[in-house]
Structure 1
Amino acid sequence: MAHKIAILGLGKIARDQHLPSIEKNPDFELAAIVSRNADLDGVEHFTALNDMLAARPDIGTIALCTPPQVRFELAVAALKAGRHVLLEKPPGATVAEVEALKALAREQGVTLFATWHSRYAQGVEPARTFLADKTVKSAEIIWREDVRRWHPGQDWIWQPGGMGVFDPGINALSILTHILPAPVHVVGASLEVPRNRQTPIGAKIAFKSATGHPVSADFDWRQEGPQTWDITVKTDAGTVTLSSGGAVLAIDGATQLSADDTEYDGIYAHFAALLAAGESDVDISPLQLVADAYMLGEIRHVDDFIE
């Protein structure tokens, strides 16, 4: 029997990604929308989560697609009501609150899934397999896109907890932490913050791996025209390049794989598997790297950002 699922927060990401993937997956049935400002034809609508929890005990799973600043209390309410919860990335505004949710899910005996959609790009798992037994010499991330194109009019991204350019940049970090054989830690960062905003529009981060090789990341939200989502890893046995956010994999310049975007299909397939096994999946390593970049980052004020 399909899991009845409610989407909380019917914004762009929910409409563009969650709804199509739920519709394609026979393990899920969209049963309700919880949103103050939006509804969906043919689907029961609630304006508050507590109302839905009280009225629909048959809905056992919830996808939280709200901005991260307000997600914690909502997740707590859902978990305490015995519902399984899928968290859109980033899973929370702080590392500590995600750890608290992880502990609560364990206490309640329900599934908590902190999603990292970029890990489900088609080139990511083959890259991880290739790198597993290689000696990594260095790695570089270049992740540049146009904030006006992807987040038009979304003020929450510029507020504390909204993460700024780390909102897309954390996607790259979710891939990096998944494919590298050894963990990395932040050793320095430079954060460019518009004078009229509170989160970065650009960031450069230096990392070092547990085995000593350097890693760099260049995140920028001011790139017009073609967008850049590339990760390059140099090893003793060749250079691995993931481009187009992980959809294209090349080794020593030769394309090994080029695929369509099926990231959210992968998320819901994994969520179904977690529910069947009665397990959770809550990896905070990408969020921890962002938090550490904020802790070590030198702030540089740049020109005002005008929408």
Structure 2
Amino acid sequence: MAPRSPAPGLRRKHLRRRLRTLGFLSPWLVGFTVFFGYPLVATVYFSFMHYNQIRAPSFVGLRNWKYVLGQMPLFGPALWNTLWLVVVMVTLRVVFGLGVGLLVTRLTSGVGLFRTAFYLPCLAPPVAATVAFVFLLNPGTGPVDEALSALGVTAPRWFNDPDWAKPSLVLLSLWGVGDLMVVFMAALLDVPREQYEAAELDGAGALAKFRYVTWPSITPVVMFAVVTGVVQTMQYYTQALVAGKLASGVNTGPGSTVQPGYPDHSTLTVPQLIYSLGFQNFNTGAACVLSLVLFVIAMAVTSLLMRRRAGLLTAED
């Protein structure tokens, strides 16, 4: 016998439940479609078009892809700088943020003062923080150089040296590590005290307690910090651009443009190159190709980190 169809009343009940569920999901669905789905589809579309934002786009096939991946001279340096910042900056920020979090949670007095001192820098706007940092590291006349000269140490040229420009940006990011400190402090304070007491009864030292008690408890938070740090650094734009412009000494005014990446393209990142191509040179097709390449790399790195064999999460997590 054929299965009986549900009663009309039951069908209406299921329909109302589906409509109610869609109603609750509608804000997310609209936001996802408008701010992610449509831009992604449009980016793929324009990557096969010649479009200067003035005339109507015309189909050029794979010409934009061949130009970006095989002929663009700045694509290699920009990609290398971006990946370098992802590896070095994210790693040091996580390690430094965890270290500061451990230090603050171990303090017995002045905890509020130290929390405030470490957290305040991350509240500074990116442009203002970068301007202050370039001033502090100004070669020859900056306070940091003067202090090092008083100690008999020859200071590097910081943002004016291609070998030191990216490490200087890393120092800037470590100065504002207070956001990660707060996240790690919450995770560290959530570790059960009973586990530390049991480890002490077993004769575990400070290193053993961190390895066998603290680390297994905070690995999900470490994973969160690494993944979000990778995504944010893949979009690194403002600090590198402002630092390069200030260090170059070029006086920019209304209507003037400065090519990013000073000195010698050492601070040029893929987001800067995308902006330069799309809004300064009006090469929208090549800019869309770069955006898709950056999106694929970010997705690949994030997927790799989310795998259990990445070593940050155990089987129980």
What's the TM-score once normalised by structure 1's chain length? Answer: 0.25
Greater relative contact order: 1 or 2 (C-alpha under 8 angstroms, separation 6 or more)? 2
More strand by share: 1
More helix by share: 2
Query: Rg larger in 1 or in 2?
Result: 2
